[in-house]
Amino acid sequence: LPLPSDVSWRFAQANFQPVDVADQLTALLTVEEIAACLELLPLIRRTEIFDYLPDGIQEAVAGVVSLDSLMELLEELPSDSAADLFNYLSPDQQADLLKDLPARNRATIQHLSSYPSGTAGALMTSEISLLPTGINVQRALEILRRTATGSETIYHTYIVDPRHRLVGVVSLRELILAPPKASLDKLMTEELVTILPDEHQQEAARLVSRYDLLALPVVDESQRLLGIITYDDAMDVVEEEDTEDIHLSASVAPLETGLLRTSLVNLYRSRVMWLILLIFANLVSGVGIAFFEDTISAKVALVFFLPLLIGSGGNAGAQASTLMVRGLAVGDVGLGDWTRLLGRELLVAGALGLTMAIAVSPIGMFRGGTDIALVVGLSMVVIVLFGSLLGMSLPFLLHRLKWDPATASTPLVTTLADAGGVVTYFALATWLLGLH
């Protein structure tokens, strides 16, 4: 895209999808330039593009534009995005804006911005297309045509009773195909998947994906309809939550923005805490080694197999914990499956341990004879079993304690399995080789 000073920018951007323009702006321009570019555009286009800017850039742009521009954005954005933008502002800006906003927008924004980020409530939009009970299809289509511009989607319309309680849903497809005089109450579907506003956004995304919904209604305890979560927002949540889980799996704290846009300080912060903690966890292995210093001095050849043995325990543990963390995240396994999974893991890890013992024994034989081969092989079986059971149990334990199971990261499991591996190996060696 040409630079913002160039008026031809206005023409150039019109050929691109809003998300692509937003990406280009973010990649190439400073915050002030982005704000200047946006000011050149008509309000609807400007709002579309702004809505696709990353959160951090939205926040920064909101800090440099005029209060009038902010007001226009807040009025034009879908209510869920407007509430997010509102939450980025300073308390002073918030107070100034609330004073001047039309009453209807003010109420919506205050309501939506009150839900903590990460909940279903914070994800929902209040631009819902609604119909009353007791009308026919023709009347329903008339109402839809009149109110369509204010709704995020009209493909599913929700039917509410006079107390605003959700009683059913009807799709535009059903309305179009039904005879005009048919009763809406007979046409609508009454079995609805819904969610409470304080549930986790991941649960909302899971429901949308599982039931192939276009939109998921959010209701309060008395079934009153508060808003809807659309499939595209649910898709964004899936990507966001998976990224968070994947980063946690390597002991990286969640990043607010993409890898290239995160500041070096934040990148450092997201990594340093776990690395330091793991140093101290690794000390346990060091203490284990120090305890067996006599064994090591008596048979230095044993150290040759140390990385291989403890590495294998850590790797098997990493596999087991990763399988379990993902299984819990996608709802594939639950707390009740614990005993069944334990039995399966015992069998699989036992078989893996035996296979690896067979693979490693010839090396033991070659480096130190039958004795060493026996110690190394036996250690392998015990260490792989220990690592695997640790790896599968830790996510369950964390889940039970209401922690994120993904905290059972590969480095954590590996480190703990290492400590167990060191002790197992040298204890078996001391005992079997009579080195004490």
State which of positions 153-192 bind a copy of itself (CB under 8 A).
154-155, 172-173, 176-177, 191
Which amino acid makes up residue 43?
Answer: L
Instruction: Strands of 316-372 (E only): list them.
Output: none
Q: Give 249 or 430: the residue with its C-beta nearer to a copy of itself.
A: 249
Cβ at position 200, least distance to a copy of itself in Å: 17
Q: Using an 8 Å Cβ cutoff, are 253 and 407 in contact?
A: no
Give the number of residues written for the chain: 436
Which of the stretches 30-38, 87-95, 102-110, 264-272 binds a copy of itself when contact is defined by CB under 8 A?
264-272
User: In the range 219-238, which residues lie near a copy of itself by CB under 8 A?
Assistant: 231-232, 234-236, 238
Cβ at position 90, least distance to a copy of itself in Å: 29
Helix, strand, coil percentages for the chain (3-state, nearest 5):
70, 10, 25
Q: Using an 8 Å Cβ cutoff, are 188 and 170 in contact?
A: yes
Among 112, 411, 424, 425, the residue binding a copy of itself under the rule CB under 8 A is 411
Regarding 310 and contact with a copy of itself (CB under 8 A), the answer is yes
Cβ at position 310, least distance to a copy of itself in Å: 7
Cβ at position 273, least distance to a copy of itself in Å: 10
With H, G, I as helix, E, B as strand and everything else as coil, classify residue 1.
coil
Q: Using an 8 Å Cβ cutoff, are 436 and 293 in contact?
A: no
Cβ at position 36, least distance to a copy of itself in Å: 25
DSSP 253: P
Among 75, 133, 311, 432, the residue binding a copy of itself under the rule CB under 8 A is 311
Rounded Cα distance between 58 and 120, Å, is: 21
Regarding 415 and contact with a copy of itself (CB under 8 A), the answer is yes
Among 34, 131, 218, 247, the residue binding a copy of itself under the rule CB under 8 A is 247
Among 337, 427, 428, 433, the residue binding a copy of itself under the rule CB under 8 A is 337
Regarding 200 and contact with a copy of itself (CB under 8 A), the answer is no
Among 249, 361, 379, 393, the residue binding a copy of itself under the rule CB under 8 A is 249
Rounded Cα distance between 194 and 55, Å, is: 27
Long-range Cβ contact pairs of 54-60 (< 8 A, separation 24 or more):
54/26, 54/257, 54/258, 54/261, 55/84, 55/88, 55/256, 55/257, 56/256, 56/257, 56/261, 57/26, 57/31, 57/261, 58/84, 58/85, 58/88, 59/88, 60/31
Among 13, 319, 379, 393, the residue binding a copy of itself under the rule CB under 8 A is 319
Cβ at position 184, least distance to a copy of itself in Å: 16
Q: What would the DSSP string read from start to end of 124-163?
A: -BS---EEESS-BHHHHHHHHHHHGGG-S-SSEEEEE-TT
Rounded Cα distance between 305 and 376, Å, is: 7
Binding mask 374-393 for a copy of itself (x = CB under 8 A): ----------x---------
Among 44, 103, 300, 401, the residue binding a copy of itself under the rule CB under 8 A is 300
Among 9, 50, 274, 425, the residue binding a copy of itself under the rule CB under 8 A is 274
Structure tokens at 416: 């703990």
Regarding 60 and contact with a copy of itself (CB under 8 A), the answer is no
